[in-house]
Amino acid sequence: MKTFGQVITEARKKAGLTQKEVAGRLKREDGRVVDAPYLNAMEHDRRYPPSNHLIDQLAEMLGVPADLLYFHAKRLPADIKRDVDNEQVEMAYEAFRKALKGSKAGNKKK
């Protein structure tokens, strides 16, 4: 499985953007711009995945679904971070596994 850094690197390159361009457009919650070394460290998995605020911006900027980035960050999006009962969690994982089993191993979308 790809890491968070690998996913954003691949998406950034596909979008034709440099690290400096992406970093210059990313703004932290306090309004400060992210610097290129921070993004470089993220892409090389030398930093934990960023805040949800930055993940949402990256998704929009790079043209990838935010849910994909949340998955690779091993994090839940804010809209589903709430109290759930055990049965709901089990049903969600069952549906997730069923969806993954439905796709053939090694069959990548191009």
Per-residue pLDDT of 3-49, as tens digits, reads 999 999 999 999 999 999 999 999 999 999 999 999 999 999 999 98
Confidence (pTM): 0.83
Q: Which two tokens stand for residue 62?
A: 């790079």
| Token pair of 99 as six digits | 């969806």
Please give the domain boundaries of the chain with CATH numbers for all domains. Answer: 4-82 (1.10.260.40)
- 110 pLDDT more than 50: no
User: Residue 27's beta-bridge partner residues?
Assistant: 33
Average pLDDT, integer, range 58-84: 92
Instruction: Tokens 């053939």: give the residue.
Output: 104
Q: What is the dihedral of CA 71, 59, 91, 102, to 10 degrees?
A: -80
